[in-house]
Structure 1
Amino acid sequence: MVLAQVKVEDKSNEITAIPALLELLDITGAIIAIDAMGTQTEIAKQIVAKKADYVLALKANHPTLHSQVQQWFETHKANNFRGVDVSYDKRIEKAHHRREIREVWSVPVSAIGQLYQPKVWAGLQSLVMVVLVRHLWNQTTREVQFYLTSLHSDAQFIGRAIRKHWGIENEAHWTLDCTFSEDACRIRSFHSPENFALLRRFALNALNCEKTYKRSLRQKMKRTAMDNNYMIRVLSCCFIDNTLGSSNCLCQA
């Protein structure tokens, strides 16, 4: 579900919007997953201060730290992590004519003796490497990603959190683009883009909450437009007090 949205100001980016978004939400006990642009020391500090955990993508926007972590994992992987307290998990999935192999290695921060400025990352406990290999019918791709996290070194648990983070792209962003045609929308003036974006997210949440009609979101949208009784059923889902049953709620910025 989309829990909140904050408009990014002109000539700005998500770095300024993420702290404002986190202030809107009660994230106690949640895991906050953020892409590389939001991998900032102040954001990590804010998440920990609000009693949540983070999984932050580590890329070249932190060149020294990224290079050190990459080199360390590559060196020790070649030696099968001999003598290192490493947690490992491997998952193989087959769907939509493709095969995915996901391998996750997680090590405590103490495993890297001279990590570059570890104290600036509040609550940092583990470093993670994920290798994703996709076998399609006509090609094979390999992607390596690194993460900083305040979670204990548990490759299986952290891997699930990262997997859910990737899933948000399909379940929210892709749906808003393809089903709700957000990217094709020509609304540009005044507060209209922000307001219509909010309405789309209200609609997405309401349609996802309605579970009785086992059809795609697009089909549920069409039925809502043609059937007033079903429309009322969808809208009524917005007023049910649904509490999040797990303390490990995943949020993405």
Structure 2
Amino acid sequence: MSDRSAIEWTEATWNPTTGCDRVSAGCDNCYALSLAKRLKAMGAAKYQEDGDPRTSGPGFGLTTHRGSLDVPRRWRRPRMVFVNSMSDLFHARVPLPFVRDVFAVMAETPRHTYQVLTKRSVRLRRVADRLEWPQNLWMGVSVENAKELSRVDDLRTVPAAVRFLSLEPLLGPLTGLELDGIGWVIVGGESGACHRPMDQDWVVEIRDACRASGVPFFFKQWGGRSPKTGGRDLQGRTWDQLPARGRLAAS
């Protein structure tokens, strides 16, 4: 975890769990899987558990870290915190009591705003009523193509203060995307050696839907060989909008 992050839409990362398994096309070139392999080779203690080679990899086996639960309590300055940049809190192998413990830490540190992102929207929906939802928790789902739009419907059932979408890596058009009950949308292209291109028309269609619905829109990157290869401009400007409760600069 880090109290500084290079991710444009957050300020810090906190990983009470690490590791994951591929579940859909958006996972094919997972940056966290590649990073975990390097961290294991470097001897990083949190990345010594290997995952199933069919869906995961070296150092990327799902692991809970009870010792990491206190980290946000030690951060005195308020931060925007991305929870589990190296995992998925709603992975089937994360015990529900541990999820509750993570939620409790968030409730006990209201000075921070927490951003939780999952691809496991079905489990999220099924356990939502067994969790206490603090007002400083933003809940999001990742959607990479139209096949995964049901994740948005699952998210709408969750009583989070802010519900958001991470449409990254965007791999196809999301025509007909419904934004009822959604408070923020992030769009980004894929980066890395095997990155898949993103069409400008897909992005513009989502941006225009956000503008029509009054939903803040954040354009993270075009992607390419590196995250910064294609830049962040969309039709001559950057889009850094955040929900009203955000502490980063909105435009």
Q: Which bracket does the TM-score occupy, shorter chain normalised? A: under 0.3
TM-score (norm 2): 0.27
More strand by share: 1
- From the CA coordinates, give the structure whose radius of gyration is larger: 1
More helix by share: 1
